Chains A and B, each alone.
Chain A
């Protein structure tokens, strides 16, 4: 079975290449569906396959750039990408990311970086989870109230409406974001992207996990547009990140290309699946993904405080993440296949 292993020319290790393709498909499906790069899922996956950690981040970012590009193209055709909003946010994202990355250097000097980062991350994930599920609960309550009073359910109703308050800030210049259907101060997306970029820089992540809910709850994008626009951001920042990590010699391009074969296909499946799932369905599954990510971070923290269980916690965290990736990718793929079957059947019935 030697042919199932490939020698990585830079890292110098033999890797089970079908594992890279399977991992690529899994994160591709999830990334195309949620609008995120998925570094938190890929890194433990690469680790399990025997990848040296020094190359894991660079390799992940390189494949992420390619996969996000193709997802953006697909979402763009569905009308899910607000390019104007994407370009405005790019400024804030880059500046915020650099400031965050520099702050990490400062924290490294005073020797507290690991704990600070992990606690911020955990707090943030808990907040996002609360936000998503509170939003869903309030939206359901609105639907129930509408049905009880005999009114029609408003399809555009939202649970949390923070964006409406933020849209009242009228600091010029004001911008019309036609695809997202928003009229607001240009400073709102700039400030939001600076904040999410800063957090991403501090946490050392791509930022999709933070930016996607920020686009929904703070900027006020519909879910599908938030997914598409976020992927546009991930594609551009991913390409920049890939160049940066590769120049530092931290990318194993052969592995990235093998992963990309699976991820490019998977990303298409994930992006097409958004056709068949309502916005709040996407938010619900996203909330579950955030819970999974949060539990894995908590397990890592537990290992720091109780060293005797660190090994067990690490193994549980890794399998939890991989189980979550497999489960979610399978769920999204099934939904996509069911939706496609319905669509094809309807086309045949019309013809």
Chain B
């Protein structure tokens, strides 16, 4: 039983050691696909947004990474205010089970 466990452990360790080598040997990347937003039907902020996407994916990414948490927090805090107004205790949890 102990020998089998040791053999299994050796297999797992060997796999863990070889996995990165196999992965790196595979290289990476994929078929480069270029996507362009059609701005002809858009106006105002939507047109600006689509143009930003077409012009620079980097700026588009930076703005996305800033906007997502910000909007999440704004609406989350709004939900907080509503639940606090209803009278729910939002700072402690009494149930303590595993």
A-B complex is real: yes
B90 touches A74 (CB 8 A): yes
Interface bracket on B: 35 or more
Chain B binder among A121-129, A164-172, A249-257, A308-316? A249-257
Q: Are A268 and B69 closer than 8 Å at their CB atoms?
A: no
Q: A344 contacts the other chain (Cβ, under 8 Å)?
A: yes
Chain B neighbourhood of A63, CB < 8 A? 68
Cα(A223)–Cα(B24), bound, Å:
36
Quick check: is A114 within 8 A (CB to CB) of the other chain? no
B49-74 interface (Cβ within 8 A of A): 49-50, 53, 57-58, 60-61, 64-65, 67-69, 71-74
Interface presence of A103 (CB below 8 A): yes
A344 and B72: CB pair below 8 A? Answer: no
Q: A248 to chain B: which residues have CB within 8 Å? A: 57
CA distance A222 to B98 in the complex (A): 4
Asked whether A223 lies within 8 Å of B98 as measured between CB atoms, the reply is: yes
Instruction: Report whether B93 and A275 are in contact in the complex, using a CB–CB cutoff of 8 Å.
Output: yes
- Contact yes or no, A105 B28, CB < 8 A: yes
Q: How far is the CA of A280 from the CA of B80 in the complex (A)?
A: 26
Is A350's CB within 8 Å of the partner chain B? Answer: no
Contact A7 B46 (CB under 8 A): yes
Q: Does B1 contact A (CB under 8 A)?
A: no
Chain A interface mostly helix, strand, loop or mixed?
helix
Residues of A near B93 (CB, < 8 A) are 78-80, 224, 274-275
Q: How many Å from the CB of B52 to the closest CB on chain A?
A: 10
Please tell me if B42 contacts chain A, counting CB pairs below 8 Å. Answer: yes
Pair B49/A253 contact, Cβ less than 8 Å: yes
Is there an interface contact between A155 and B38, defined as CB atoms closer than 8 Å?
no
Residues of A within 8 A of B94 (CB): 275
A340 to B91, CA, bound (A): 13
- Contact between chains at B97 and A253 (CB < 8 Å): no
In whole angstroms, how far apart are the Cα atoms of A297 and B90 in the complex?
37
Using CB atoms, name the residue of chain A closest to B68.
A66
Residue contact B72 to A251, C-beta cutoff 8 Å: no
Cα distance A69–B67 when bound, in Å? Answer: 13
Does A222 contact B97, Cβ atoms closer than 8 Å? Answer: yes
**Chain B's nearest CB lies how many Å from the CB of A275?**
5
Partner of A78, one of B23, B69, B92: B92
A116 within 8 A of B: no
- B61–A246 touching, CB < 8 Å: yes
28 interchain pairs (CB within 8 A)? A7-B41, A7-B46, A9-B37, A66-B69, A66-B71, A77-B91, A102-B26, A103-B22, A109-B26, A155-B96, A156-B97, A239-B68, A239-B69, A242-B64, A242-B65, A243-B61, A247-B61, A249-B34, A253-B49, A256-B64, A260-B71, A260-B72, A264-B75, A268-B76, A278-B95, A278-B97, A340-B86, A343-B89
5 further A-B contacts with Cβ under 8 Å, apart from A78-B91, A250-B35, are A69-B69, A69-B73, A73-B73, A105-B28, A265-B79
